[in-house]
Chain A
Amino acid sequence: MSARDEILGRVRSALVGASPAVEVPRGYRTRGDASVDVLALFAERVADYRADVVRCSPDEVEAMIAGALAGARAVVPPELGWHVPDAVVDTGLSALELDELDAVVTAAAVGIAETGTVVLDHGPGQGRRALSLVPDLHVCVVLAEQVVAGVPEGVARLDPTRPTTWISGPSATSDIELNRVEGVHGPRRLVVVLVG
């Protein structure tokens, strides 16, 4: 007998007499409180993780990106939508090549206010996953209309067939005597540019 048949057989005999019908009570909040300013909350919660947050209007985005980079050598995905002078456009760079660059600029898919989370689904303007992982500074541009109140609204906007990366502040560890240290393997600095 294959392991598959063996395991499924054991599952079935373990469940003899058990009723498979389970009522799932969904009494939790699936929409945010309309009286809350989600953009202000998002900015505050992202900053709580010791990420930098800057807010600007649509025509200031390129200046904000340039300010965040402060001359760092950046890689950008194709179709970013904002011009980043002197940036390298990703054409499938190797991990070693990405490691030679200082920064990356990407768009985002969703922002979640309650948890201060940016989600990338690695669609247009966001680049493949390695891009926003290897360089040490990640500048991420989030549009006002991408920001939702809570996790349920965020999950609902995402497509499960795409890979997603949920980012809540820069990488961190508390493994040494519970001291929080920013930056182990992911980007050690995160700058979120919130537009609108």
Chain B
Amino acid sequence: MSATFVGMPAFPEAARNALADAQLRGNLALATRTIRGKRLRVVGELPDWEELRLAGAALKDSALLSLDSSLERLEASLTAAGATVHWASDAAEACSIVASVARDHGVDEVVKVKSMATQEIELNEHLAAEGIAAWETDLAELIVQLGDDLPSHILVPAIHRNRAEIREIFLRRMADVGRPAPADLTDEPVELANAARLHLREKFLRAKVAVSGANFAVADTGTLVVVESEGNGRMCLTLPDVLVSVVGIEKVVPTWQDLEVFLQLLPRSSTGERMNPYTSTWTGVTPGDGPQEVHVVLLDNGRTRALADEVGRQALRCIRCSACLNVCPVYERTGGHAYGSVYPGPIGAILNPLLRGVGESDQLDSLPYASSLCGACFEACPVRIDIPSVLVDLRAKVVDAHRPSAKPEAAAMKAAAWSFGSGSRLGVLERASGVFGGLASRMVRRRSTSGRTALSRLPFAGAWTGARDLPAPPKESFRAWWKRTDGGRR
């Protein structure tokens, strides 16, 4: 829990460290390849996948473009269903609301189901400072938490750990915080999962207060939705007396019926399954069933800043499926830690600067450059977020923020952003000529004659490229490594 992203080095330096870690690179390559294959199979089963994507994007837009009334409807329906609604403008407010609910019930521990929003606001650290232990109950989160580690992937946060390391972490740390791991624990995945089952069941059965996020919040009905695999979500949402859900204001969808779109898009894009093992929906308090005191914290923490960005606001459609991570050639090789945030990969490269602002830190400003603009993320995204366009637009903003005199480059970036935004992104750029084409050829990933992909040359000199080139590692440069290993395939 001591681990933190604060003070992370900028992406190029962090990427260099990650690239030096062969274990991480191997695990990630295997993981992303496996999930990619599964996703393609189940997406291919649906003849109407593109129609679902179009509907999903439009539904999120319709909630976001009238977000004030969407939120007022959500608040009214939640309240009518017996929930208590809180509003939090930033991380500190959200954390203190959760802490005060826990304190009101006199507890010194809460159980938690994996939630990006609570990681974003660093809720666990905040509760720990108030003497309240927050137990992560998702297996991967448990591994990360017990290992005093940081998550590296939205969906499989412990993907950087192998089974021998997990066994060692369980044996060393479980006893400190509850039921110890069996002394004869082996590194078989079934045994490791069973050790987690026993360790956590003790906590579920006694917990008084649970904390969750939500994948969706239905404005019309006040229904919250949690999509999961292991059943730890159901445990947290069902057994404790009190439930606090921290929900980003962008999670709102207009109507119950709209779940028919998202409950098809999310599982297939995320774990590559037709449906995830468990989905729970609940609407306020149900007498005699589940928590009898239900709180919902509506969290801004930069979302309204992102909403104000006309190009970038589409990032708020994100349903956190992680498909864009798994198809990203940069992510596959550097892993999630290099992004220095709970939101890694292509979505992280746009969401972090959008939430926290451009020109605020070198680390954030380096993120829009952590991409070869190949377009794979857009193709994979179930809600059609045009990540390449937003990246290019943010690069222009970074240039503006750092070099107010660099007008020609900023103008070229804006022109590129306009072109990307127009729809046929890659084709237009590849066909473009002159200055514009020259810029484009430096930004887009080229396909070699063998059909394999290669990062474009990085030929610029000067400060502008200094911010976007990957610095050469001591022994072997990124590009030399890429060439030698054929982009990690050898």
Contacts and interface: CB of A to CB of B under 8 A. Distances in A.
B51 A166 contact: no
B289 interface: yes
Given A117-B275, A185-B201, A133 B304 contact: no
A171 B277 contact: yes
| Interface size class of chain A, counting residues whose CB lies under 8 Å from the partner chain | 35 or more
A28 B139 CA distance: 35
A99 B201 contact: yes
A174 B205 CA distance: 24
A12 B275 contact: no
Interface in A46-99: 48-49, 92, 95-96, 99
A130 B256 CA distance: 24
Contact of B256 (A122, A155, A174, A179): A155
Given A8-B68, A178-B31, A13 B193 contact: no
B307 interface: yes
Nearest to B273: A168
B30 A178 contact: yes
Interface string A22-59: 11111111100000000000000100110000000000
A172 B230 contact: yes
B88 interface: yes
Interface in A134-162: 134, 151-152, 154-156, 158, 160-162
Interface in A91-136: 92, 95-96, 99, 112, 114-117, 122, 128-130, 133-134
B62 A7 contact: no
Contacts, number: 241
Does more than half of chain B's interface fall in helix, strand or loop, or is it mixed? helix
Interface string A163-196: 1111111111111111101011111000000000
B197 A185 contact: yes
Chain A CB count within 10 A is highest, among B158, B230, B282, for B230
Contact of A160 (B27, B158, B283): B283
Contacts of A48: 274
B239 interface: yes
Interface in B164-214: 166, 189-190, 192-193, 196-197, 200-201, 204-205
Contacts of A174: 156, 229, 271
A10 B300 contact: yes
B87 interface: yes
A175 B235 CA distance: 18
Contacts of A130: 238-239, 289-290
Nearest to B75: A4
Interface in B126-143: 137-140, 143
Interface in B42-58: 47-48, 51-52, 54-55, 58
Interface in B222-259: 223, 229-232, 234-235, 237-239, 249, 256-257, 259
A26 B264 CA distance: 14
Contacts of A114: 274
Size category of the B interface is 35 or more
Nearest to A165: B280
B72 A161 contact: no
A15 B27 CA distance: 42
B89 A3 contact: yes
B278 interface: yes
A36 B52 CA distance: 21
A156 B257 contact: yes
Contact of B274 (A115, A165, A181): A115
Contact of A129 (B137, B234, B279): B234
A186 B237 CA distance: 13
Contact of A176 (B192, B249, B300): B192
Nearest to B259: A155
Given A3-B87, A28-B48, A186 B230 contact: yes
A25 B54 contact: yes
Interface string B460-474: 000000000000000
A114 B267 CA distance: 13
Contacts of A19: 65
Given A24-B62, A45-B274, A167-B277, A11 B67 contact: yes
B189 A163 contact: no
A28 B166 contact: no
Contacts of B55: 24-28
B274 A185 contact: no
A162 B284 CA distance: 9
B278 A28 contact: no
A22 B253 CA distance: 13
Contacts of B308: 10, 13-14
Contact of B298 (A7, A13, A24, A116): A7
B397 to A, nearest CB: 16
Given A151-B263, A176-B163, A7 B89 contact: yes
A184 B89 contact: no
B139 A175 contact: yes
Contacts of B261: 28
Chain A to chain B: the 7 pairs with minimum beta-carbon distance, closest first: A186-B231, A185-B231, A14-B308, A10-B304, A22-B62, A166-B279, A171-B231
Interface of B: 27, 30-31, 34-35, 47-48, 51-52, 54-55, 58-59, 61-62, 65-68, 71-72, 81, 86-89, 93, 137-140, 143, 156, 158-159, 162-163, 166, 189-190, 192-193, 196-197, 200-201, 204-205, 218, 221, 223, 229-232, 234-235, 237-239, 249, 256-257, 259-261, 263-264, 267, 271, 273-283, 286, 288-290, 298, 300, 304-305, 307-308, 310, 313
25 contacts: A3-B88, A10-B304, A14-B305, A20-B65, A23-B58, A24-B62, A49-B277, A129-B237, A129-B280, A133-B235, A155-B256, A160-B221, A161-B283, A162-B286, A163-B286, A164-B280, A165-B234, A166-B275, A166-B281, A171-B230, A171-B278, A175-B156, A176-B189, A177-B189, A184-B139
Given A24-B59, A162-B286, 5 more contacts: A10-B300, A29-B48, A152-B257, A155-B260, A184-B139
